[in-house]
């Protein structure tokens, strides 16, 4: 069955430090991969997506992610974290077949930023 694993429930980093959030997926075909961010009380906002092509994907707010097929991973990175990046981050894999679309989400990683 398809699944997405985000092994870290909560991460705390210092402002200005680098960040890497892990995501592993299980899916038999070529995946469509997404990272979303959710601020408290808000809906989800797309940070970046991977469909095909270059395995290093650039997103908004200075985030990037790298697709590694051999490791079934799609880790999110940012070289220098800002206090406004404190939020919850969700990795998702798109499952598409026929005329149906479905996003399978991980449980999320909550990011705290300390001054």
Chain contacts with other proteins (rule: CB under 8 A): 4, 32, 34, 36, 41-46, 49, 90, 92, 94, 96, 99-108
Cα separation values, 73 from 33, 42, 67, 88, 100, Å: 10, 27, 6, 19, 24
Which CB, 41 or 115, lies closer to other proteins? 41
Nearest-approach distance from CB 79 to other proteins, in angstroms:
24
Q: How far is the CB of 46 from other proteins (least distance, A)?
A: 5
Of 6 and 81, nearer to other proteins (C-beta) is 6
Identify which of residues 70 and 100 has a Cβ nearer to other proteins in the complex: 100
Cα-flanking dihedrals φ and ψ of residue 8, to 5°?
-100, 120
Q: How many CB atoms lie within 10 A of CB 101?
A: 10
**Which residues 6+ apart lie within 8 Å of 99 measured at CB?**
none
In the complex, what is the shortest distance from the CB of residue 22 to other proteins, in angstroms, rounded to a whole number?
15
């Amino acid at each position: 069955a398809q699944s997405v694993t985000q092994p870290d429930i909560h991460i705390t980093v210092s402002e200005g430090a680098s960040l890497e959030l892990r995501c592993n997926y299980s899916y038999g075909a070529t995946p469509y991969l997404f990272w979303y961010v959710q601020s408290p009380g808000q809906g989800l906002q797309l940070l970046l997506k991977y469909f095909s092509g270059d395995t290093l994907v650039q997103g908004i707010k200075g985030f990037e992610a790298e697709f590694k097929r051999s490791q079934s991973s799609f880790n999110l990175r940012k070289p220098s974290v800002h206090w406004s990046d404190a939020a919850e981050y969700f990795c998702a894999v798109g499952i598409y077949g026929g005329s149906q679309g479905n996003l399978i989400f991980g449980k999320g990683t909550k990011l705290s930023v300390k001054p």
